[in-house]
Amino acid sequence: MPESSGRGFFAPPGFPRVVGGVEVDNQIWLAPLAGITFASFRRFHRALGAGLVHTEMVSALGLKYKGRKTKELLYGGDDEAPCALQLFGSSADDFSAGAEIALEMREFAALEVNMACPMPKVTKKGAGAKLLEKAGEAAAIVKGLKRFGIPVWAKVRLIPRDSGNTTEDFCARLFEAGADFIFVHGRTPAQRYEGRASCAEVCGAARAFPGRIGGSGDCYAPEDLTAYLDGGCAAALAARGALRDALLIPRTLAALGAEVPEELRSPSPEAQKELLLRLCGGICGTEGERLALMTARRMLGALFRGFEGAPRLRRAGAAAASWGEMEALLAGFSFESSPQGGEKEEEINGADASLELN
């Protein structure tokens, strides 16, 4: 798999350029995904062309109180840059304390405030989407983070029209406080991840703040991501779509006119096997065997689609009891020797619909 050059290799016309205060190769970025966007996964998608990657959602309070597992979410290296740190919490003091500890550990391209997570375990603590109801505190959080001298971003959801506030009004409040960029997810907090995200409403906000809004929600194919860009968004996030199709980002970049190698746009099954071995081998060496096996099982549905023998490979992979078994299966599997016919390619979801996106 080719390494991202950092300049021009995955750059559509007009890129590299500065978006939200960060110089990026392109406008297709990897979203923060709980339990997914750890260091090896970020590095993998950066090498596949993602213009920017995100950490998982990290607790500012957990950092403040020096939680070991919370700190582990920050681990990474220069080969994933630019990387944005997404923090969640309920107060400006907690965000400031958490960000200070994080930035002592390593550099990040931007600090991002999560104001979008709708899950009760987050909102009941006054964090995530609950901040949409507290514009004053949300603005204070952004203002407090500006002291660190790097771009401050936010991720929000659509605010219901009958709430007495609007998404555009809330974004304006954050920009007045110093926000450099805001992602808007096309669902309200009450919708969680049900129903269809409204690309039109997100793009309405983008037109109100040219060059300062990114789009998020229901991006499963290149045309989903480009619809946000065509509607005025300065960037678009690949989230669950990157779990359904591991090559969604490079395929989208090719559609945007970037120079993307054929091996990433339409790889052979053997090349896809090597991608998976590389990704999960890296995870095994960095994050551990258990996570390598879990990721491999998930990615079997995001790769190997439409090939003879693919269903058989997925069934065998689901039965693997360790990464060693999975690695041996992948290394020894030959699509050329798979039986011709007799196997019906099933519909692949490749992503748990209940996956929490940050």
pLDDT of residue 145: 98
More confident residue, 156 or 268: 156
Token match 């960029």: residue?
Answer: 181
* Number of CB atoms found within 10 A of residue 200's CB: 10
- pLDDT of 347 > 50? The answer is no
Rounded to whole angstroms, how far apart are CA atoms 55 and 36? 9
Per the structure, the complete domain to which residue 322 belongs is given by 269-332
Residue-wise pLDDT tens digits, 65-115: 988 889 889 999 999 999 999 999 999 999 999 999 999 999 999 999 999
SS (H, E, C) 257-307: CCCCCHHHHCCCHHHHHHHHHHHHHHHHHHCCHHHHHHHHHHHCCCCCCCC
- pLDDT of 346 > 60? The answer is no
Q: What is the pTM of this model?
A: 0.90
83/210 same-domain check: yes
170/311 same-domain check: no
The total number of structural domains that make up the chain: 2
Residue range 213-237: mean pLDDT, rounded? 98
Residue 348 lies inside a defined structural domain of this protein: no
Cis before 2? omega within 30: no
282/166 same-domain check: no
Residue 357 lies inside a defined structural domain of this protein: no
210/149 same-domain check: yes
Pair type for strands 110-115 and 83-88: parallel
275/204 same-domain check: no
> For the domain that residue 55 is a member of, what is the CATH number?
3.20.20.70
- pLDDT of 141 > 70? The answer is yes
Residue-wise pLDDT tens digits, 292-309: 999 999 888 888 877 788
Residue range 220-244: mean pLDDT, rounded? 97
Instruction: Output DSSP code: residue 6.
Output: S
238/275 same-domain check: no
| CA neighbor of 25 nearest in space, from 44, 47, 3, 7 | 7
- pLDDT confidence of 350, banded at 50, 70, 90? very low
Residue 344 lies inside a defined structural domain of this protein: no
User: To which H or E segment does residue 252 belong?
Assistant: helix 248-255
278/255 same-domain check: no
137/242 same-domain check: yes
- pLDDT of 349 > 70? The answer is no
Residue 116 phi/psi, 5° resolution?
A: -125, -25
Contact 21, 211 (CB under 8 A): no
Rounded to whole angstroms, how far apart are CA atoms 210 and 232? 7
63/173 same-domain check: yes
Residue range 23-43: mean pLDDT, rounded? 95
Residue 354 lies inside a defined structural domain of this protein: no
60/171 same-domain check: yes
* Number of CB atoms found within 10 A of residue 319's CB: 10
234/278 same-domain check: no
pLDDT of residue 61: 94
Residue-wise pLDDT tens digits, 329-339: 999 988 765 54
Residue 110 lies inside a defined structural domain of this protein: yes
User: By mean pLDDT, which of 118-122, 138-142, 232-236, 306-310 is the weakest?
Assistant: 306-310
Residue 355 lies inside a defined structural domain of this protein: no
307/274 same-domain check: yes
Residue 1 CA neighbour count, 13 Å, CB half: 25
Q: Of the candidates 210, 243, 263, which is a domain's last residue? A: 263
